[in-house]
Amino acid sequence: ISIKIVSIIQLWVTVTHKTISEELSKTVLLPCLFTLRQGASSSTEPPRIKWTKVWGQRGSDGLQKEQSVLVAKDNVVKKAFQGRVALPGYNENRYNASLALTGLRSSDSGLYRCEVVVGINDEQDTVPLEVTGVVFHYRAPHDRYALTFDDAKRVCVENSAVIADPGQLQATFADGYDNCDAGWLSDQSVRYPIQSPRPGCYGDREDSPGVRNYGNRSPDELFDVYCFAKQLRGDVFHTSVPEKLNLATASTHCHSLGAQLATVGQLYLAWQAGLDQCDPGWLADGSVRYPINVPRKNCGGDEPGVRTVYSNPNRTGFPDTTALFDAFCFGGKIKYFI
């Protein structure tokens, strides 16, 4: 009997191997559908479905890190992943294992393994997921809290971004973002993300971690802003000359390389893609910043991030345009998608 069952139950897993891209804070559907081979009886026990996230380098044991995402068998669905997962097609069809993941975070990027078990048959496949976009804090050139709501929207656009929405800030907070500067968001609210509450940063939540919310504000009030940069369409690169560059010569230098000074949004996207350069450089808005992925001494602190060079100890004021630094240039590329 057992031999007969093995021969009639064959699972066919249909998944796409192309990387699925979705923006920060949105919902993605990772497809996983399997069918029984023609002629196979579906009267056997319901299939068991298991989703696992797999990431990192293979260790000495040849294994990667794994995290359980969801397990389902018939009407019992066990979810990990902060409850952000569901099987929307499963109620209708027990063989539809497609996984919905909501409130996407950058750290959700990775490989997802879908496993289906019927009887003693076991099939699996993987779906790569890439979460795109980055949230960054932006302060006016001359002072802290100097942007009206209209200014806030404009400076984001000038830096290859848009004003962030509350969901995007929340998703970034969930990945560890901490910044004690109240900034405009697209719904005209003013918020900031705090991991470790401290004097001056309690906001409306006292000493529990969370995104602080000042609520909806009059558009004339002055704050910083949180921007969201979606996608890098080209390359950001660091450049230097022996005598260093002021803002004007930095711009000319980028042009001589067939490029232009990068915007803040472009630098953040390049940082997210792995750029690491412990040398402050001019950007198009007249600010001076540098991207750090591997935190180290003398490169601005213990956390990865884009560092900003301010002219005042209270973290305000872009450097004088005659000050000498390197530069970050941006060269657009025409990409052909086949």
Give the footprint of ligand NAG on this chain (CB under 6 A).
Answer: 29, 33, 88-89, 93, 96, 98, 143-144, 312, 314, 316
Nearest approach, Cβ of residue 74 and ligand NAG (Å): 17
CB of residue 91 to ligand NAG, shortest distance in Å: 9
As a whole number of angstroms, the distance between CA 265 and CA 136 comes to: 8
Q: Are 232 and 206 in contact (CB under 8 A)?
A: no
The full DSSP string for 204-217 is: TSTTS-EEEEEEE-
Cα(10)–Cα(37) distance, rounded to whole angstroms?
5
Nearer to ligand NAG, 290 or 318 (CB): 318
146 versus 324: smaller Cβ distance to ligand NAG: 146
- How near is the Cβ of 19 to ligand NAG at its closest, in Å? 19
Shortest distance (Å) from residue 146 CB to ligand NAG: 9
CB of 119 to ligand NAG, least distance (A): 22
User: Whose Cβ is closer to ligand NAG: residue 108's or residue 224's?
Assistant: 224
CA distances from residue 86 to 3, 49, 77, 82, 105 in whole angstroms, order as listed: 35, 12, 9, 11, 16
Q: How far is the CB of 152 from ligand NAG (least distance, A)?
A: 17
Residue 112, beta-bridge partner list: 53, 127
- Residue (33 or 54) nearer to ligand NAG, CB: 33
Please provide the DSSP assignment of 114-172 as one string.
EEEEETTEEEEEEEEEEEE-EEEEE--SS-SS-B-HHHHHHHHHHTT-EEPPHHHHHHH
CB-wise, 89 or 133, nearer to ligand NAG?
A: 89
Which of 11/161 has CB closer to ligand NAG?
A: 11
Query: What pairing do the DSSP bridges indicate for beta strands 281-282 and 326-332?
Result: parallel
